[in-house]
Amino acid sequence: MAAVPSLPRPATLASAEPRTPSARQVVWRRRGLDLLLAWPFPLAVLLAWQLGTQFELIPPQILPAPAVVATTFADLWSTGELQDHLLISLSRVMYGFSLGTGLGLLLGVSMGLSTTVKEFLYPTFRLFAQVPSLGWLPLLMMIVGIDEALKIILISKAAFVPVTMNTYDGLRNVPTSFLEVSRVFRFTRWQLLRHVVFPSALPPIWNGIRYALTHAWLALVGVELLASSEGLGFLIVYGRQLFQLDVVLAAVVVVGAIGFALDKVLAVTEAHLLRWRRNAF
């Protein structure tokens, strides 16, 4: 008896359906698209800069060519001058940012958890926050001089305000539904703070820390432009005084790159903290 040839098995429903991309694939595709969209504009600016200097639409004394700026950057790096100024600026901003963030967290938590502290200190804090950091420069120069204390105080003030505001707002704006659930479970005050209030307030608090680092970096450059003999801000002023615009542009590029990198570091840290927060609930 001849064997009956086996027919091909029909494809299962699962294999016939298109494969749905995973969440990680969707995230990576989105990041790739964002990266792709981020490049055209800066490349167009760089091309316009190159064409403007190449055809002398702008005098080279005012706007040096990109190649000249790159050469100047390489020279400053090879001599170690750029690293010296960069380390000085980074140390200043880290000291001021740490001090301002610590004080901001302390005051923000105190006002957010205590109505008495809030009524006593909040009006004064709002008045203090309305004055820009550099607005305190003349007064502080009379009190502490133009040494490192002046720079640390101004940078601390720049970081202090956003951390305090965001911490206070985050603690005051915990969703009512979260508080009702904690009452159902009869949480103690410590359990309420640990499992409900602080995890809920973490995103605005961390946004305040990110804003604080940005403001601290901007305040650093501002105070170094006005009252410093070292640092990236001083390097910009030094290049302007000698009419070396290539030095100015090289320092400006470093300032922008370092500020962008610092914000990215906090963004990555925030992603890990929020993942911890999701697991905590």
In tens, the pLDDT along 116-169 reads 999 999 999 988 888 888 888 888 888 888 888 889 999 999 999 999 999 999
Q: How far is Cα 207 from Cα 60, in angstroms, rounded to an integer?
A: 41
Please say whether the beta carbons of 64 and 122 come within 8 A.
Answer: no
Helix-helix angle 66-79:245-280, to 10 degrees: 80
Q: Which CATH architecture has domain 59-280?
A: Orthogonal Bundle (1.10)
Q: What is the pLDDT of residues 34-60, one digit of tens each?
A: 667 777 887 888 888 888 888 878 787
Which helix (H) or strand (E) covers residue 142, if one does? helix 137-144
Q: Please give the Cα distance from 153 to 81 (Å, whole number).
A: 26
Delimit the domains of the chain by residue range: 59-280
Model-level pTM? 0.79
Return the minimum-mean-pLDDT range out of 13-27, 174-188, 224-238. Answer: 13-27
CA distance 233 to 70: 19
| Residue 13: predicted pLDDT | 47
Nearest residue to 105 via CA among 153, 190, 168: 168
